[in-house]
Chain A
């Protein structure tokens, strides 16, 4: 036995999911579930508790004491998905994460991450704090075995060694060991009251009296027998869903819930050592849907960067009707290469420095608004330029005698006041692609002193045209 396990229990997972993104803190809300065919209160907020609502009450009784109580049916599917997401998020702290949906518990093997994250205590506190920021109330504890860590989580304990674990277990009442109700009844019938009485018994006696299953469970709890847990595997895509609970009328009201979703998502990315190049956000509105996409230049997982883009987008987003639900998804989780930074924190690669700027510009002005400039080998000036992706190379010829500005498209002009400085230069091509032309180009100066690039066209449309400015 030489591992260290951290267990994080989410005792109020259903309630957290129902309340974590509504702005109202003091709502009287209760989670209901069916107990033998009757709806009962499974969990409730502190406000509801003050009104007299108790866990285990029938819904009818709860409504009798608190008529304004908001009821929310428990959704096991949503809880299981949330636990999956939390496992993905927790993967940033440990390479071995497993989950137990029946008890809403996550197990993290943290012995291996000790060098990275330090002692179990501070890591446990940080984890619980970070989960709190994400809107989940978690109880966490550490111990040499997963099962013991789950017990320790109830008190927020750190159990460092096997000896300490034995002492801890010995102090527990029998009911706290997490046994099956039938086993508990049988043990009580035999006169056991405390765990220490049970643990003191010789093993053959225990096996004979209680059967091998209980002995095995005790052995796992104490670390006398390995307790393999099915490891959770990070998925290749990510999808998170959030029911806003209320109708959000202004796009700015989406910043807060989306920030939480993005924070959680970035944690997941760190966990899998992934980055993404785009995040798709779908807003379900009262009528219809609206989609937005946050795009990065290179795979990233920086929350602040996503938030900058998001604020930019939301600032200009008009909701056609109130939003009720948010879905955040990313289909391709890419391997992430941390940018190389030099001694002074400047990124070594000048391209990557510009990426956040490009992203911000595109987020607000549109993808087409930002481009590079390039050219192709082509005689007709109006077809000889391109707007490639920023930083892309192009086979552009170097023509120092051409004007720095091109008027696109060429516009008819009157040359009466112009003074000819150079020319003509004949450009005549294009019969092969149906854009045949014959022109004589001149450099002329207008009365204000600007040098212009003017051509006389013979075909297809005879006349004088302004095509460039030496500016």
Chain B
């Protein structure tokens, strides 16, 4: 195959398949191996990110703790909508999170969770919203997630929605969608969707109790 012609490199009208879009501002995730593979080098700001752990509790919350520490450290609010268990304050503090900037919202159903999430996204600028809208099959459909995506953009926030892995096959309005699984070596992250070209190989991260010999170091 002939190499691409060397005309107009970086010309705004020429888009190359290998280019990644860097239009979204990002926030470093705090995991170097992950940042290297995420478009823009971190979690998107002003957009929805969907996380699909194979099972709840694999490390999807741990994955976000460094970002939450950064955000709360800058005075931004982090709102947790209907988390599956109690976010344990001493542990969060141990990860450098400013508890004064943490907010927990309890809801009764998926509709309320999505509503609360949107309200939180449309509120004060900056910060993050983490939502566990529940497992209802049609509860977090495309249209409702699309609202969250727009709200995140308007509020310039990072929105993280945790969904069941079954949702992987359905389309999502989130610009970034990650699948999470775990084995003895650690957390295995697959980029299911992102803007621009991406590498489909999984990313391995070593969680605090994973053995150091078999997994890639987080830093």
> Do these two chains interact?
yes
User: Which residues from A are CB-within-8-Å of B182?
Assistant: 448-450
**Does the CB pair A397–B93 fall under 8 Å?**
yes
Within 8 A of B (CB), among A438-471: 443, 445, 448-452, 468-471
Q: Is the CB of B106 within 8 A of A365?
A: yes
Q: Chain A 320-344 against B: per-residue CB contact (8 Å), 1 yes, 0 no?
A: 0000000000000000000000000
Question: Is residue A133 contacting chain B, with contact meaning CB distance below 8 A?
Answer: no
* Closest Cβ neighbor of B124 among chain A residues: A353
Query: Are A373 and B87 in touch, CB under 8 angstroms?
Result: yes
Which of B11-19, B25-33, B60-68 sits within the interface?
A: B60-68
A369, A371, A405, A421: the one within 8 Å of B84 (CB): A405
A408 to B86, CA, bound (A): 7
Cross-chain contact of B181 among A393, A397, A449 (Cβ < 8 A): A449
Collect the chain B residues with CB atoms within 8 Å of residue A373's CB: 87, 89, 92, 99, 102-104
Partner of B209, one of A354, A387, A398, A443: A443
The reply to whether A369 and B90 contact each other, CB–CB distance below 8 Å, is: no
Residues of A contacting B56 with CB < 8 Å? 471
Cβ contacts under 8 Å, A391 to chain B? 100-101
Q: Which residues of the other chain, B, contact A356 by a CB distance below 8 angstroms?
A: 123
> Known contacts A422-B209, A470-B59, A470-B209; is A407 also within 8 Å of B94 by CB?
no
Quick check: B90 and A396 within 8 Å, CB to CB? yes
Which residues of chain B are within 8 angstroms of A346 by Cβ–Cβ distance?
125
A470 to B58, CA, bound (A): 8
Contact between chains at A354 and B85 (CB < 8 Å) = no
Taking CB atoms, residues of chain B closer than 8 Å to A115 are none
B93/A399 in contact, CB under 8 A: yes
Question: Nearest chain-A residue to B93 (Cβ)?
Answer: A398
Instruction: Give the residue of A357, A385, A401, A471 whose beta carbon is less than 8 angstroms from that of B57.
Output: A471
Does residue A416 face the partner (Cβ distance < 8 Å to B)? no
Report B-chain residues with C-beta under 8 Å of the C-beta of A370: 103-106
Q: Which residue of A lies closest to B102 (CB)?
A: A373
Indicate if the CB atoms of A398 and B94 lie closer than 8 Å.
yes
Interface residue ranges of B34-59 to A (CB < 8 Å): 54-59
Q: Which residues of B contact A361 (CB under 8 A)?
A: 105, 116, 119-120
Known interface pairs A353-B125, A403-B91. Does A450 touch B55 (Cβ–Cβ under 8 Å)? yes
Does A406 count as interface, using CB distance less than 8 angstroms?
Answer: yes
Number of A positions contacting B (CB below 8 A): 55
A-chain residues with CB within 8 Å of residue B22 when the two chains form the complex: none
**Residue of B90, B100, B101, B183 with most chain A CB atoms under a 10 A cut-off:** B90
A137 interface contact, C-beta 8 A:
no
A406 x B209 contact (CB < 8 A): no
- Give the docked Cα–Cα distance between A368 and B75 (Å): 24
Whole-angstrom distance between the alpha carbons of A406 and B122 in the complex? 29
Interface string of B68-81 (1 = CB under 8 A from A): 00000001110000
B154 within 8 A of A: no
Q: Which of B58, B76, B101, B102 contacts A471 (CB 8 A)?
A: B58
Contact A406 B85 (CB under 8 A): yes
Whether B119 pairs with A357 at a CB distance below 8 angstroms is: yes
Contact A381 B88 (CB under 8 A): yes
Mask: chain B, 95-130; 1 = CB below 8 Å from A; 0 = not? 100011111111110001001100110111110000
Q: Is A384 an interface residue (CB 8 A)?
A: yes
| Chain B interface size, under 10 / 10 to 19 / 20 to 34 / 35 or more | 35 or more
Please give, as numbers and ranges, the residues of chain B lying within 8 Å of A24 by CB-CB distance.
none
Q: Could you tell me if B57 and A398 are in contact, using CB atoms closer than 8 angstroms?
A: no
Decide yes or no whether A154 CB sits under 8 A from chain B.
Answer: no
Q: How far is the CA of A400 from the CA of B93 in the complex (A)?
A: 7
- Distance in Å from the Cβ of B205 to the closest Cβ of chain A? 12
Task: Tell me the minimal C-beta distance from A394 to chain B in angstroms.
Answer: 7
Q: Is B138 an interface residue (CB 8 A)?
A: no
- With A and B bound together, what is the CA distance between A373 and B80 in angstroms? 10
Of B59, B86, B93, which one neighbours A406 at CB under 8 angstroms? B86
Q: Answer whether residue A360 sits at the interface, using C-beta atoms and an 8 A cutoff.
A: yes
Nearest CB of A to B166, in Å: 16
- Closest beta carbon of chain A to B177's beta carbon, Å: 19
On chain A, the residues within 8 Å of B87 by CB distance are 373, 404-406
A384, B100: Cβ atoms closer than 8 Å: no
Tell me the chain A residues, 66-111 only, with Cβ under 8 Å from chain B. none
Q: Are B124 and A402 in contact (CB under 8 A)?
A: no
Which of A384, A393, A408 is B90 in contact with, Cβ under 8 Å? A384
Asked if A392 is at the interface (CB within 8 A of a chain B CB), the reply is yes
B208 on interface, CB distance cutoff 8 Å: yes
How far apart sit A46 and B95, CA to CA, in the bound complex (Å)? 72
- A402's nearest neighbour on chain B, judged by CB, is B91
A372 in contact with B104 (CB, 8 Å)? yes
Contact of A407 among B55, B85, B103 (CB under 8 A): B85
Which one, B88, B103, B116, contacts A385 given CB within 8 A? B88
- Cβ-defined contact, A372 with B123, below 8 A: no
Q: How far is it, in angstroms, between the C-alpha of A218 and the C-alpha of B209 when the chains are bound?
A: 95
The docked-state distance in angstroms from the alpha carbon of A386 to that of B77 is 18
Chain A residues within CB distance 8 Å of chain B: 346, 350, 353-354, 356-358, 360-361, 364-365, 368-375, 381, 384-387, 390-394, 396-408, 421-422, 443, 445, 448-452, 468-471
What are 24 A-B contacts with C-beta separation under 8 Å?
Answer: A350-B76, A354-B124, A357-B122, A364-B116, A365-B105, A369-B106, A373-B87, A385-B90, A386-B89, A402-B91, A403-B91, A404-B88, A404-B95, A405-B61, A405-B83, A406-B85, A406-B87, A407-B86, A445-B209, A450-B57, A468-B88, A470-B208, A471-B56, A471-B57
9 nearest A-B pairs in the assembled complex, by CB-CB distance = A449-B182, A400-B94, A353-B124, A357-B123, A405-B85, A375-B89, A399-B90, A406-B88, A402-B91
B interface residue numbers (CB < 8 A to A): 54-62, 65, 75-77, 83-95, 99-108, 112, 115-116, 119-120, 122-126, 181-184, 207-209
- Given contacts A386-B89, A405-B61, A452-B57, 20 further A-B pairs with CB under 8 A are A350-B126, A354-B77, A354-B103, A357-B124, A361-B119, A364-B115, A369-B106, A371-B104, A372-B102, A372-B104, A373-B99, A384-B89, A384-B90, A399-B94, A401-B94, A405-B57, A406-B87, A450-B182, A470-B207, A471-B57
